[in-house]
Amino acid sequence: MAALNVLNFWALLLITVSVCNGWLFENFGAYRNREADEVALWPLPQKFQTSGAAFQLSAASFQIVHAKSSTAGPSCSLLQNAFRRYFDYIFGNVRKHGINQKKVFDSELAELQVLISSSDPECDGYPSLKTDESYQLEVDTPAAVLKAANVWGALRGLETFSQLVYEDDYGAHNINKTSITDFPRFAYRGILLDSSRHYLPLKTILANLEAMAMNKFNVFHWHIVDDQSFPFLSRTFPDLSQRGAYHPYTHVYTPSDVKMVIEFARMRGIRVIAEFDTPGHTQSWGKGQADLLTPCFSGSSPTGTYGPVNPILNSTYDFMTRFFKEVSTVFPDAYIHLGGDEVDFSCWKSNPDIQKFMVQQGFGQDYRKLESYYIQRLLDIVSATNKGYIVWQEVFDNGVKLKADTQLHVWKEKPQYQDEMARITAAGFHTLLSTPWYLNRISYGQDWQGVYKADPQNFNGTTEQKKLVIGGEACLWGEYVDATNLTPRLWPRASAVGERLWSDENVKDLGSAYNRLIKHRCRMVRRGIPAEPLYLGFCPHEYDGL
């Protein structure tokens, strides 16, 4: 039978509820209100004040509008779309046209005015690492006002506003008088999806971009190709997917698919950073690009199998130059992820041409030098396209000479990530953390708690070093994940990462987090995201997809 201790659970819940109330509403002293308790903001804003005064919102008349003094207007389609999306979230797609909707309550909130202050609202731009995502939200009658420098902050504020609205027992929509000043702790808040080990249909990717916006993530790290398959349809080298994908038509991302993902993400303030990992993790590349991979040898004869990219041929670099030229135009983000992890040297070692090359170059038996040689040339190629790059930590560990703006992605469990973060930042490089956030690793129970506790700045280093941490990324590698189980496996576990990366570092009380996260997960379910439960209980509206 189910071995669990129900009594313990209820005890824990009681404690957490009281902690939560005291904490959230400390500025308002004795104020307690069951309905406001229903408001569970996730991730928690930096500064938040609310009062017991509640206003009603009418589905028939409530509007989200551009403030008169806003620099953005109806021609800003990004905001127009966001207004409609958040209206739907708030009112659950139900538009009431009842005749009794005419009556106006004294305390009705008629509209939310969105005020963009910067001379360029960036309606048609792309978010970047430097993007200002801060916003201010004042909810009061007759109108609530959301202020932000540009559309990106406005998107974050709209999400918060939508989370403030709650339904009372009569199904009416209410919002309390509230004042919020908010900004992210880290500029880089990512999710990695792996579309190589299993192909992910567009629908799955788009749904997860939706869920990311609900959790204020701003980077989709698209681990688009790997050993197992090459679904990216390259216009320059169509054979890569024609031969390297699981299927050349049903399991590929066409240029218009990629465009759709990028635009869908842009509309939600999310950057799309593609990863084309080399020289390892490239088995699928070899199928469509002859001579790209190193032929492995057994003694003096080729075995017929292939290893990493062949670093000694000029043709390799010609290929990479043309390929990354295409990639740099397809993906508008200023950064590309170049991988560089887990290179197995045994095939290089077996190959007589490579042995010769090692001697020529004076590398001795140190194949890390050969890897560095390759990476160095690759980085030069990518630099020439005016892109910055992110690489996995091994590139740093192996002593490759890196441009100052290189971002190093920490993922390994050994050495301890805290030590690695300290070393990387001591060397003056920017870094982002994933080690504690490999969400593909599952276990029984509430593992979101460990995820929540990890902190990217928790290492020994100076304040200057800490500032070099640009953020982190939750990774959902694809060995055991495809469209059937991806979404419930990722959410709400990734939400725990979302709060760690957005909210103040002192927001770490597990009880408060549990209390808000169970409600936030029900909110995601209500919005059509099959986010799995944290523990037993229920949502007023259960998931009704199948």
Partner 1 sequence: MLPTKTKLVRLVFLLFILLNEAEEAHAVWPLPQQISQSADRYLINPQLFSFGYARDSVAQSGCSVLDAAFKRYFSLVFPDFADGAGVAGFSNIWLEPKAFTVSVRVKSGGCDGYPNEESDESYNLSVSAGEAVLKAESVWGALRGLESFSQLVYQDKYDLYFVNKTEIVDFPRFKFRGLLLDTSRHYLPVNIILKTLDAMAYSKFNVFHWHIVDDPSFPYQSYNYPDLSSKGAFHPMTHIYTQSDVRRVIAHARLRGIRVIPEFDTPGHTQSWGKGQPDLLTPCYKGDVPSGTFGPVDPTLSSTYQFMSGLFKEVKSVFPDSYVHLGGDEVDFNCWKSNPNVQAFMTKMGFGGDYTKLESYYIENIVNITTALNKTPIVWQDVFDYRERIPKDTVVEIWKGVPADYQAELGRITLAGYRVLLSAPWYINHISYGQDWRNAYTVQPQNFSGTEQQKELVIGGEVCMWGEYVDATNLTPRLWPRASAAAERLWSNEEKTSSVDQAFPRLENFRCMLIRRGIQAEPLFVGYCKHEYSGL
**468 versus 522: smaller Cβ distance to partner 1:** 522
Contacts of 174 (CB under 8 A, 6+ apart): 35, 54, 55, 56, 57, 165, 166, 167, 168
Q: How many residues bind partner 1 (CB under 8 A)?
A: 53
Identified catalytic residue from 26, 342, 464, 505: 342
CB of 538 to partner 1, least distance (A): 4
Residue closer to partner 1 (CB basis): 66 or 85: 85
- Tell me, what amino acid is at 470? I
273 and 334 in contact (C-beta within 8 Å)? no
Among 58, 89, 525, 527, interactor with partner 1 by CB under 8 A: 525
Using CB under 8 A as the binding rule, whether residue 92 contacts partner 1 is answered as: no
Q: Does 450 bind partner 1 (CB under 8 A)?
A: no
Could you say which of 36, 137, 207, 265 contacts partner 1 (CB under 8 A)? 207
Listed ranges 98-106, 180-188, 365-373, 530-538: which one lies at the site for partner 1 (CB under 8 A): 530-538
DSSP secondary structure of 306-350: EEEE-TT-HHHHHHHHHHHHHHHHH--SSEEEEE------HHHHH
CB under 8 Å to 463, separation ≥6 — which residues?
Answer: none
Q: Does 246 bind partner 1 (CB under 8 A)?
A: yes
362 alpha-carbon distance from chain centroid: 43
Asked if 543 is part of the footprint of partner 1 (rule: CB under 8 A), the reply reads yes
Q: Which is nearer to partner 1, 302 or 537 (CB)?
A: 537
Which of 84, 96, 247, 259 contacts partner 1 by CB under 8 A? 247
Given a contact cutoff of 8 angstroms between Cβ atoms, the answer to whether 123 and 78 are in contact is: yes
Q: Binding of partner 1 at residue 203 (CB under 8 A)?
A: yes
Backbone phi, psi, residue 9, to 5°:
-60, -45
Q: Considering the rule CB under 8 A, would residue 545 count as an interface residue with partner 1?
A: yes
Q: Name the 3-class secondary structure at 58.
A: coil
Q: Which is nearer to partner 1, 224 or 390 (CB)?
A: 224
Instruction: Name the residue nearer to partner 1 (CB basis): 198 or 409.
Output: 198
Regarding 251 and contact with partner 1 (CB under 8 A), the answer is yes
**Site for partner 1 contains 99 (CB under 8 A):** no
Tokens 């292939």 found at: 306
Taking CB under 8 A as the criterion, the residue among 197, 221, 430, 519 binding partner 1 is 197
Identify any residues that bridge with 544 across adjacent strands, giving them in sequence order: none
Q: State whether residue 373 is helix, strand or coil.
A: helix
Q: Binding partner 1 by CB under 8 A: which of 73, 92, 201, 388?
A: 201
Range 403-442, binding partner 1 (CB under 8 A): 440-442
User: Smaller CB distance to partner 1: residue 125 or 201?
Assistant: 201
Both tokens of 75, joined, read 């021609």
Strands (E), 459-513: 469-476
Distance in angstroms (rounded) separating the CA atoms of residues 366 and 358: 9
- Work out how close the CB of 447 gets to partner 1 at its nearest, in angstroms, rounded to a whole number: 10
Q: Which is nearer to partner 1, 350 or 440 (CB)?
A: 440
- Are residues 217 and 500 in contact, defined by beta-carbon separation less than 8 angstroms? no
Q: Is 479 in the site for partner 1 (CB under 8 A)?
A: yes
Q: For residue 478, state whether it binds partner 1 (rule: CB under 8 A).
A: yes
Residue type, 501: L
- DSSP string for 205-264: HHHHHHHHHHTT--EEEEE---SS---B--SS-THHHHHHSSSTTTT-B-HHHHHHHHHH
Select the span of 194-202, 232-240, 303-311, 464-472 touching partner 1 (CB under 8 A).
Answer: 194-202
Any contact of residue 223 with partner 1 (CB under 8 A)? Answer: no
Which is nearer to partner 1, 404 or 546 (by Cβ)? 546
Contact pick of 349, 489, 508, 526 for partner 1 (by CB under 8 A): 489
User: Is there a catalytic annotation at residue 342?
Assistant: yes
C-alpha pair distances (Å), 357 with each of 292, 309, 312, 366: 16, 15, 7, 12
Q: Token match 């043309």: residue?
A: 322
CB 437, min distance to partner 1, A = 14
Which residues of the chain form contacts with partner 1 (CB under 8 A)?
Answer: 1-4, 6, 197-199, 201, 203-204, 207, 228-229, 246-247, 250-251, 440-445, 478-485, 487-489, 525, 528-538, 540, 542-546
Active site residues: 342
